[in-house]
Each structure stands twice: as structure tokens, then as C-alpha cells.
Chain A
Amino acid sequence: DAKTTQPTSMDCAEGRAANLPCNHSTISGNEYVYWYRQIHSQGPQYIIHGLKNNETNEMASLIITEDRKSSTLILPHATLRDTAVYYCIVPGTYKYIFGTGTRLKVLA
């Protein structure tokens, strides 16, 4: 399973874009990148996933580099409710292994 590396914490001003990076240099050609977030002590929430093309949904955008060794989750207009821990995951066939994620704090 490919391992991921994320910064421990980040701050973002409310209303600005939050860009959360993730390195996954050992990703293989058919492995997807998934992003989840966990608000306070709730269960994690799926955000988005992608293989090699950029993806966008109602929550966020995912930009994957051409060599697929890193990706960036973009929250276009962060709100206070986006304060959470964000996890980048490259799962194996069946196993989802969560790392420690990035703690994003959105500042008023």
C-alpha cells in the first residue's frame, strides 16, 4: 500500500481557499487517492477521490500531479465549519490505512 505524507497542521483565513497537500511518491499506476475529513470526534466523512485527472464535486477539488506522486485538496472558500482533520489515503485492494492527517484550522 502506498504511504502518504501530510503536514501536521495548517491555518486558513475564512473565505479564502484552503490548499491541503499530500505526498504519495510510491503510488502505483492503478491506485486511487482518497480524501476524508473528521470534524471534532465525529466519524470521518468522505470528500473526494481521483486517479489521475483533476476532480471536483460540491465539497472540494482534487488536483493530482502528472507524475501522480502528490495531490492537493482544495476547499475553494473555507468556512469555520471546515475546521477538521483531513486525511489523504491511498488504499490497497481492500485496506484503508489512515495516517495522522492535517489539522486544518479556519480562522475568522
Chain B
Amino acid sequence: NAGVTQTPKFQVLKTGQSMTLQCAQDMNHEYMSWYRQDPGMGLRLIHYSVGAGITDQGEVPNGYNVSRSTTEDFPLRLLSAAPSQTSVYFCASRLGGGNYGYTFGSGTRLTVV
């Protein structure tokens, strides 16, 4: 198993550009989540999904869209990048229907200039 794969690992965007951060898992996990982590801070939940076709907002959803068309993939779209979205983005997944820990990806480091 590759686990949780995030691409790209690094990205620089200009203000106003849009892009999609990719997240894929090969563990047949139902639950997937996106977090952002600003320098020296904890993780904040952006969006999460409990299965294909089901998504919901987390703590800081503004400026981001998600969709979950398959169990494996959970892309995060930045609609119009702003410098305040400079952060490290982590995707995570876990089995549903019980008490399981999340597996995290290695992150995407995004800089918006």
C-alpha cells in the first residue's frame, strides 16, 4: 500500500490563481479530511468526507472546495489563491464505521505570492 499520497509536494501560486491539491489513498478508507497548518500552529480542519458523494465543512472552509466522486480521491480546490492561504496542507484518511486512527499524507507546501 502506498498509503495517502499528496501531490504536488511544493507549489508556488500567484494571487488570484486557482489550483487543485490532489489526495489519493489505496486503503479503501471511507473517511478523508483536509487540514492546513500555518507556521508554528496546529492543524485546522478545512473539509472532510465520510464517503463518496458526501462532504462537509470543517473549521476553515472559506476559499476552498472539495468533491468526492470516488472512495480513493479527495481533491482540494483553491478557487482564487490569496497570500493568507500560504500554508502546509495535509490530507488524511481512515476506515469508517468504528474507532480507527487517521493516516496522514506527507503534505503539500503552498506559497501564494
Contacts and interface: CB of A to CB of B under 8 A. Distances in A.
Given A96-B33, A100-B41, A44 B104 contact: yes
Contacts of A99: 42
A94 B105 CA distance: 19
A45 B104 contact: yes
B90 A96 contact: no
Q: Chain A interface: which size bin?
A: 20 to 34
Given A34-B101, A42-B106, A44-B104, A96 B88 contact: no
B44 A98 contact: yes
A10 interface: no
B1 to A, nearest CB: 15
- DSSP majority for the A interface? loop
Nearest to A32: B99
B56 A97 contact: no
Interface of B: 4, 31, 33, 35, 41-45, 48, 50, 56, 58-59, 88, 90, 92, 99, 101-107
Interface of A: 32, 34, 36, 41-47, 49, 51, 85, 87, 94-101
